[in-house]
Amino acid sequence: MRAAIIGGTGYSAVELIRLLQHHPYVELETVISHSTAGSEMDSIYPHLTNIIDRPLTALNIDSLSEEVDVIFFATPSGVSKEILPKFLENGLTCIDLSGDFRLKSQTVYEKWYKKSAAEQKHLDSAVYGLSEIYQTAIKEAKLIANPGCYPTATLLALIPVLQHNLIDCDSIIVDAKSGVSGAGRGLSLGSHYSEVNENLKAYKLGKHQHIPEIEQILNQQSGKTSPITFTTHLVPMTRGIMATIYASLNTPVKTGDIIDLYQDYYQDHPFIRICKEGIIPTTKEVYGSNYCDIGVLADERTGRLTIVSVIDNLVKGASGQAIQNLNIMNGWDVQTGLEYIPLYP
Amino acid sequence: MRAAIIGGTGYSAVELIRLLQHHPYVELETVISHSTAGSEMDSIYPHLTNIIDRPLTALNIDSLSEEVDVIFFATPSGVSKEILPKFLENGLTCIDLSGDFRLKSQTVYEKWYKKSAAEQKHLDSAVYGLSEIYQTAIKEAKLIANPGCYPTATLLALIPVLQHNLIDCDSIIVDAKSGVSGAGRGLSLGSHYSEVNENLKAYKLGKHQHIPEIEQILNQQSGKTSPITFTTHLVPMTRGIMATIYASLNTPVKTGDIIDLYQDYYQDHPFIRICKEGIIPTTKEVYGSNYCDIGVLADERTGRLTIVSVIDNLVKGASGQAIQNLNIMNGWDVQTGLEYIPLYP
Amino acid sequence: MRAAIIGGTGYSAVELIRLLQHHPYVELETVISHSTAGSEMDSIYPHLTNIIDRPLTALNIDSLSEEVDVIFFATPSGVSKEILPKFLENGLTCIDLSGDFRLKSQTVYEKWYKKSAAEQKHLDSAVYGLSEIYQTAIKEAKLIANPGCYPTATLLALIPVLQHNLIDCDSIIVDAKSGVSGAGRGLSLGSHYSEVNENLKAYKLGKHQHIPEIEQILNQQSGKTSPITFTTHLVPMTRGIMATIYASLNTPVKTGDIIDLYQDYYQDHPFIRICKEGIIPTTKEVYGSNYCDIGVLADERTGRLTIVSVIDNLVKGASGQAIQNLNIMNGWDVQTGLEYIPLYP
Amino acid sequence: MRAAIIGGTGYSAVELIRLLQHHPYVELETVISHSTAGSEMDSIYPHLTNIIDRPLTALNIDSLSEEVDVIFFATPSGVSKEILPKFLENGLTCIDLSGDFRLKSQTVYEKWYKKSAAEQKHLDSAVYGLSEIYQTAIKEAKLIANPGCYPTATLLALIPVLQHNLIDCDSIIVDAKSGVSGAGRGLSLGSHYSEVNENLKAYKLGKHQHIPEIEQILNQQSGKTSPITFTTHLVPMTRGIMATIYASLNTPVKTGDIIDLYQDYYQDHPFIRICKEGIIPTTKEVYGSNYCDIGVLADERTGRLTIVSVIDNLVKGASGQAIQNLNIMNGWDVQTGLEYIPLYP
C-alpha cells in the first residue's frame, strides 16, 4: 500500500515517518509540505539523515491521487476540511489527524474552533478512529477522524465504566497533563524553553477544543447529555499525556472488581494495559510506544473513582493510532508496524 | 532574636538558612544535624561556601536552650514529637516544619502516619501556622505546627469560598502536582534523575498524609465533615506546587464576582496575589518567593468552580511560611526578610 | 540615584529589575520598551504582579535625561550604539549590557557582529566592566561596556594564571556551556522546548562574537596575540554557564599551589570563590547569585591545566555585574544589593 | 541463537531487552539478576508489562551454559572477570559490557579501577568491540570487550584523522558530556533529581577510568604514547553523549576535505553519519538509535581541528553496539535488529 503524508514538517508527521519506516505493508511514497517544499527532509530533521533521503514536495492533488492509496493529514485545523474531500472523491483512503472531521455538528465545531466547519456530509461519513472502541466502523471507513491526544487518553479510561453504568455521568472531572510536544513545532512564548522549563501551567480552562470531542463520545456511550469539567496542564517534558479522571461511583465497588472489568473489556486489545491493584501508571512507561496504560482506585472514603490513563501523545495520541486504524481498515494485525517497546529510561 | 535549625541537611533547612541570612531581626546561631555533626556546612552544600562558615553540630538540648530563643524543626516526621516538648518546657519558641503537631487527633495521626503520635496536650496547644488564616492564634503561640506544602496551596485557595458558603463541601476534588524537591534529599528510586525526568507520575492515591490535614481545617471552616478526593503528582521540575481544585457551586456566580471576593478576603495579605479574570497562575511566577498566586474560573456550562493555586513548595510551602509565622509572633512586618522577588526565568 | 532600563522585556532587564528592587541607593524610575510601550509590566511578566506596578514607556531621550542619573541598556546588539551617545552628551552614566562598546576596533566589531560599529571615540572611552579586574578604570568611567556572559566566566578564570605566566597563551581552548536563557526571550527553533529538552548542541563553532572579546582582553593581559579555540554548547537548563578551560602549563606546578595563587589574587573580591583541591564547582552552586566559582586541576600526566569556572549567566554574566559596576562607580560596597544566596536546590 | 543477559536490572540490560525483542535471529532465553531473582520483570520495569512476562532468575553457570549460546554481561565492573571465564570454558560466546576485559594491562586496570584485574590470558584474547574499527577481529572473537560509552564517541571521531596523520597526537583534548543514565540505576546524590536538574557538573577530572581505554586504542592507532586530556560532564538529560574533541592540525586542511576523508573512511558503515560542512550534530539526532553522528571544523585562525561526535550512550555506547558485535560475529547484516530511527522530538 502506497502512502503520503501532508503536513510534513510537524511532529505528528515526523512520528508517522518513524513508524511507517518499518511497516511491512506500507510504502511511504511522498511527504508534502506547503511551507518547505523543495527542501531535503534531513535539512529540516537532521535525525532522518541517510534514512529519508528525499525532498519535501508541494501539493498536487491530481498527481498525488494517482501515486498513492492512503493519505495521512498531519495538518493544523482548518486545512484538511478544504483539501481532503477531493482525495475522497478520487477514491483514496484518508486519515485525518486534525480536528476537522471529529465533531458531528458544524455548530459545535464553529463554536469551539472559531472556524467554519467541513461539509455536513463529510462530518456524517467520517468515522471516529478510537481504535479499540470503534473497530467495526473503522473497518468500513474511507475517512477516519483520528482522535485528539487528550480524548484518546480520557475516553479509553472512561468508556468501560460508563458502559457498565458504574459512574455518575454528571460527575466527571478530567484533570489532564501534557508534555510540550503536543503544542507542535510552531514557535510561541508558551513553548519557549526558558518559559516552560521548571514551570507548570494550566491553560485554556473551560475552552479547550477537546471538550466537545470528549463529550460527544461520552454522551453517545451513556445516552445522556452531561458536560464534563476538563482542565489541561503543560508539564515540562517533551512527550506524554496523563489524564487523572474523577467520577462518583453509583454504588460501592471494590478496586479489584473494577480492574477485572477493565481487563475483560480490553482483553483482545494488546495496546491497552491495565495495572494491578495498587499500581498507577506513569507516562514514561509508554514513551515512544502505542500503549495506553490505565490504573484505577475506588476510594471507599469518598465514594469516588479515580482513573489514571497515560499515553505517548505523539504515538497513541496521534500517529500510532493513525497507523493502528490503517491496520484495522486493511484487516492486518492491529500491531503491525507498531511493536515498539517503550524507551526506558 | 537568636535561632537554631534542627535537621540541618534537608532542603527545608537549607532554605531556612537562605531566608534567615538577610532577616534583620534574627541571628542564626547554630545548625544541628544528627547525621553529619562536625562537618562543615559548605562540604555538604557547596553553594554556602563563604556564606555559612560553620560546622554542623550535634544536639544538646540544655545548652541549646541557653543559646537560642527560637528553634525551627526541619526534621522528618516522628522526630520533633520526641524532642520539641523539652524545648517548650525550657521556655523556647518552637516552629515545627514536620507533620508531628498538625493533626489534633492522635488516632488520625497514627492512622495516616503509621507512627505513634505526640502527647495530646501538645497537639492541643499547637497552633496551625497557616499564616493568613490563623494570625490571631499564631501571635499567641509558643508551638507552631507549620502547614504542609500541599495543604498550604489547597487551603489558601479553598477557605474564602468555603467561608462564603459558595461551594458544596462534599464535592471538593484536589488534583495537586509537585516538583521533586518536595520529596527531600533522601535517596530513592522515585527521586532518581533518569526515572523522574521526562516522566509524570501520580502517587499515594487516597493515602497521602496531607489528606487529614486538609480535611481537619476544611471541616473546621465549614462546620461539616466532608472527605475530599486528593491526588498528588510528581512533575519533572525541582520547585513548585500547583493545586487544581474542583468544587460544585451552590448557586451560579460569575468568575469576576469570585475574584472580587478573593481580593477582599486577602486584601491585607501581601503574599496572596489574586489573578485577574482570564489569567491562571503558573508555578514559575512564585519561584523562590513566599507568594501564593490564585486564579479562578466559574464555569457556567458545568456549574463548577475551578481554582488554581501555586506556591514554591520550599518557601510558602515550608521555610518561608515558617519565617512569616515568626514575624507574626513577634509583631514584625509580615514581609520582614521575605521580600524576595520570584526568580524569573 | 535614579535609574532607567532600556530594553525592558528581555531577560537581562527583568533580572535587573529583580536585583535593583532591594538596592538601597538606587531607585528604578522607569523601564523603557520599544515594542511594548504602554503595557503593564505584569501583563508581560506576571511574576512581577504587585511588585512593579507600572507601565512600560516609550523612549524620549530628552525627558529621560532629566529624570534619571544612570541608564542600563539591556538591548540587542546594534541598538545602544545609536542612542547611548546622546545620553552621554546629556551627562548621564551609561551601562551597556550589549556588545556594542566592548571591542576597541571597529573593524573587528564589524567582522564578528556583521553590523556597523559605534563611533571610535566612544569605543575608546568605554571601560570594559569586568568588575574584579578593571575596578580602577570602572571608578572613573561614564560608559561601561558590561562584559558578555561567556567572557566573564572565561576571563575571570584565565587572568590570574596568565598574569603569572603559568600557561602558554597559544594553547588556550575554552569549551563553554550555557543554559538557554542566554539566548533571550526572542522566539527561535533553537529555543523551542521540544527541540532543546533532552538535547545537547554545539553552536556557532569558530564564529561566536565573544571570541574577539575574550581575545582582546587576554592579549592585553599577556602582551601577545594568541587566537583561542572557543566552543559554545547549549545545555537543557535555564540558567548557568560553565567554562571548561584547557591550557598547557609552562612549567610543572601543583594544583594546590595554583589554588593558593587564585586565592591570593581574588582575596579582596567577595564574589569570586576558589574551590579547595579536588573540588570542581557546579553551575547550581551560583544559581541566582553574583558568584563566580572556580576550580582547577594541574594534571601531571598531561602537563595541562584544566580550569572550571561557573556563573549564573543572567547575574554575574549580565545584570548582577552591571550593578556591581554601578557600585564601584559610586564607591559603594561592591556587594550592595547583590547579597543573594544561591537558590538551592 | 539463544541469549542470556546477566545483570538484568540495570539500564544497559533493559536496553538490551528492548533491542533484542525484535531481533530476528536471537531469542532471549533468560535474564539473570543477583539482587532481584524471583521477581517478575514488570514489577521492576513496568514498561515491560505484557512484553517480557518472565521472572528474573538466579545465576547457575552450568545450567545456563546448556540453555544459551551467547551471554551479555551487563554487570558492574569487577563482576564479569570472576564469572565470564567459566562460560568461555563451557564454549559460550561472551559479550562483556563492563570494563573488565577492555584494558590489556593488568597494572593499568588496577591503577584506574582500584580493583584486581582479570587473568592476563583473557585480557589477551578479548577483542575490543569497537564495531566499525575492529570488525575483522570481532568476527573471530569468543570474548568481546564492548567499549565504554565515552570511548566509543571519542574513538570513532579520532581514528580517521589519526590514521591519516592529520593531527598531533600530543595535542588531543576531549571535553565529553553525558546524560545521567550513564551513571546507571544505582542511587547516589549525584543522580538525585533535585541535585542534577538545572545543574551542570564536571566530574572525575583526570581520573576517569575511560582515559586509559581511549589512550590504549589511540596509541595503538598512532604508534605513539600520548596522554590525552579528558574531562567528563554530567548534563541534565537522560540519554546522550557528546564528545567535543580538540587537536592541532599537522598542516592546514580545509573542513570540506576532512569531511570527505571521514565519508570515505566510513562509507561502508551505515551507523556512522558524517555531517555536511557547517553542520554540527546534536545528541537528540541519535536518541534511541545506534547512530554515531560526527561533525568537524578545521579552524584556520587557530590551526586546530574541532570534532563533535554524538551517540546515545545506552545504544551505540552500550547495548546497541553489543548487538552490532553479535551481528558481526555471526555474519549477519550489521544493522539486524538495530534499524531504529531516532526518536524525535
A205-217 per-position pLDDT tens digit: 999 999 999 999 9
Q: State the chains in contact with D (3 or more Cβ–Cβ pairs under 8 Å).
A: A, B, C
Instruction: Give tens-digit pLDDT for B242-256.
Output: 999 999 999 999 999
Grid coordinates of A42: 534531513
Percentage of chain A beyond pLDDT 90 is 98
Beta-carbon separation of A286 and D47 below 8 A: yes
Nearest C-alpha neighbor of A113 from the set A90, A153, A80, A66: A80
Phi-psi region of B253 (alpha: psi -120 to 50; beta: other; left: phi over 0): beta
Cα-flanking dihedrals φ and ψ of residue B308, to 5°? -115, 125
Of B227, B244, B310, the CB nearest to A175: B244
Of A35-39, C60-64, D151-155, D248-252, the poorest mean pLDDT is in A35-39
Residues of C with a known catalytic role: 149
* Residues of chain B positioned with their CB less than 8 A from the CB of A205: 280, 297, 299, 306, 308
Contacting residues for B17 by C-beta, under 8 A, at least 6 apart: B5, B28, B31, B48, B52, C341
In this structure, how many other beta carbons lie within 10 angstroms of the beta carbon of residue C59?
15
d(CA B16, nearest CA chain A) in Å: 21
Nearest C-alpha neighbor of B143 from the set B126, B157, B158, B119: B126
Beta-carbon separation of B287 and C47 below 8 A: yes
- Are A176 and A232 in contact by the 8 Å Cβ rule? The answer is yes
Rounded to 10 degrees, what is the CA torsion of B263, B250, B170, B106? 40
Residue of chain D nearest B11, judged by CA positions = D194
**Mean pLDDT of all residues in A309-337:** 98
- Are B242 and B309 in contact by the 8 Å Cβ rule? The answer is yes
Length, in residues, of chain D: 345
Grid coordinates of C3: 535609574
Phi-psi region of B54 (alpha: psi -120 to 50; beta: other; left: phi over 0): beta
d(CA C43, nearest CA chain B) in Å: 10
Cα–Cα distance between A230 and B92 in angstroms, integer? 49
Cα–Cα distance between A174 and A245 in angstroms, integer? 5
Q: What is the pLDDT of residue B38?
A: 94
Angle ∠(B195,B197,B202) on CA atoms, nearest 5:
70
Distance of CA D37 to the CA centre of its chain: 27
Mean pLDDT (chain C, rounded): 97
- Are D103 and D212 in contact by the 8 Å Cβ rule? The answer is yes
Amino acid, res. B155: L
Q: How confident is the model at residue A8 (pLDDT cuts 50, 70, 90)?
A: confident
Q: Which helix (H) or strand (E) holds D20?
A: helix D11-20
Amino acid, res. C125: S
CA dist list (Å): D1 to C8, D25, D92, D127: 66, 6, 11, 21
Cα-flanking dihedrals φ and ψ of residue A123, to 5°? -60, -40
Nearest C-alpha neighbor of A162 from the set A305, A299, A301: A305
Beta-carbon separation of A201 and B287 below 8 A: no
- Are D185 and D271 in contact by the 8 Å Cβ rule? The answer is no
Interface residue of C47, C286, C313 to substitute, partner B, most B CBs within 10 Å: C47
Q: What is the pLDDT of residue A54?
A: 86
Residue of chain B nearest A227, judged by CA positions = B302
Q: Which of A94, A149, A169, A292 is catalytic?
A: A149
Distance of CA C285 to the CA centre of its chain: 17
pLDDT greater than 90 at residue C4:
yes
Ranges of H-type helices in D21-148: 41-44, 61-67, 80-89, 106-113, 120-125, 135-140
In terms of C-beta distances under 8 Å and separation of at least 24 residues, what long-range contacts does A35-38 make, across chains too? A35/A9, A36/A8, A36/A9
Residue A30 in 3-state DSSP? strand
CATH topology for the A2-125 domain? Rossmann fold (3.40.50)
Q: What is the pLDDT of residue C67?
A: 97
Q: How confident is the model at residue D105 (pLDDT cuts 50, 70, 90)?
A: very high
Grid coordinates of B6: 534542627
pLDDT greater than 90 at residue D53:
no
- Give the sign of the dihedral formed by CA A94, CA A100, CA A102, CA A103: negative
- Are D3 and D29 in contact by the 8 Å Cβ rule? The answer is yes
Beta-carbon separation of C50 and B273 below 8 A: yes
CATH topology for the C150-312 domain? Dihydrodipicolinate Reductase; domain 2 (3.30.360)
Q: What is the pLDDT of residue D311?
A: 98
Q: Which residues of A256-265 are buried (b: 16+ CB within 10 A; e: fewer)?
A: eebbebbeeb
CA dist list (Å): C340 to B51, C132, C202, D247: 10, 18, 31, 41
Instruction: Give tens-digit pLDDT for A79-119.
Output: 999 999 999 999 999 999 999 999 999 999 999 999 999 99
Q: Rg of chain D over CA atoms, in angstroms?
A: 20
**Mean pLDDT of all residues in B314-326:** 98
The ipTM of this complex is 0.97
CA dist list (Å): B341 to A294, B334, C21: 41, 15, 8
Residue A334 in 3-state DSSP? coil
Nearest C-alpha neighbor of A321 from the set A168, A127, A165, A90: A127
Cα–Cα distance between C329 and C134 in angstroms, integer? 11
Of B46, B273, B343, the CB nearest to C343: B343
Beta-carbon separation of B279 and C46 below 8 A: yes
Beta-carbon separation of C199 and D283 below 8 A: yes
Domain B150-313 class in CATH: alpha beta
* Residues of chain C positioned with their CB less than 8 A from the CB of B185: 345
Nearest C-alpha neighbor of B131 from the set B151, B147, B142, B108: B147
Q: Rg of chain B over CA atoms, in angstroms?
A: 20
Of A198, A228, A242, the CB nearest to B237: A198
Collect all residues from B whose CB is shorter than 8 A from any CB in A.
173, 175, 177, 179, 194-195, 197-203, 205-206, 227-229, 231, 233, 235-240, 242, 244, 246, 280, 282-284, 287, 295, 297, 299, 301-302, 304, 306, 308, 310, 345
Give domain limits for chain B: 2-125, 150-313
Contacting residues for B311 by C-beta, under 8 A, at least 6 apart: B149, B152, B153, B240, B241, B283, B286, B291, B292, B317
Grid coordinates of A342: 517503550
Amino acid, res. B22: H
pLDDT greater than 90 at residue B54:
no
Residue A301 burial (C-beta neighbours within 10 Å; 0-12, 13-18, 19+) = exposed
Amino acid, res. D317: G
CA dist list (Å): B211 to A166, B148, B274, B304, D88: 25, 10, 25, 22, 58
Q: What is the pLDDT of residue A53?
A: 85
Distance of CA B171 to the CA centre of its chain: 24
**Mean pLDDT of all residues in D199-227:** 96
- Are C205 and A22 in contact by the 8 Å Cβ rule? The answer is no
Q: How confident is the model at residue C53 (pLDDT cuts 50, 70, 90)?
A: confident
Residue of chain B nearest D184, judged by CA positions = B194
Q: State the chains in contact with A (3 or more Cβ–Cβ pairs under 8 Å).
A: B, C, D
**Mean pLDDT of all residues in C211-231:** 96
Q: Which residue has cell 590551526?
A: D303
In this structure, how many other beta carbons lie within 10 angstroms of the beta carbon of residue B224?
12
Angle ∠(B341,B344,C4) on CA atoms, nearest 5:
70
Q: How confident is the model at residue B203 (pLDDT cuts 50, 70, 90)?
A: very high
pLDDT greater than 90 at residue C54:
no
Cα–Cα distance between C222 and A325 in angstroms, integer? 69
Q: Which of B94, B149, B169, B292 is catalytic?
A: B149
Cα–Cα distance between A323 and A318 in angstroms, integer? 9
Mean pLDDT (chain D, rounded): 97
Mean pLDDT (chain A, rounded): 97
Beta-carbon separation of A297 and B205 below 8 A: yes
Half-sphere exposure at residue B188, Cβ-oriented, CA atoms within 13 angstroms: 9
Q: Look up B169 and say whether it is catalytic.
A: no
Angle ∠(B101,B39,B93) on CA atoms, nearest 5:
30
Q: Which helix (H) or strand (E) holds A321?
A: helix A320-330
Amino acid, res. C154: T
Nearest C-alpha neighbor of C133 from the set C3, C6, C220: C220
Beta-carbon separation of A235 and B200 below 8 A: yes
Mean pLDDT (chain B, rounded): 97
- Give the sign of the dihedral formed by CA A141, CA A144, CA A145, CA A150: positive
Of D273, D284, D345, the CB nearest to A50: D273
Residue of chain B nearest A304, judged by CA positions = B229
Q: What is the pLDDT of residue D54?
A: 86
Beta-carbon separation of A195 and B345 below 8 A: yes
**Mean pLDDT of all residues in A273-296:** 98
Cα–Cα distance between C153 and C130 in angstroms, integer? 10
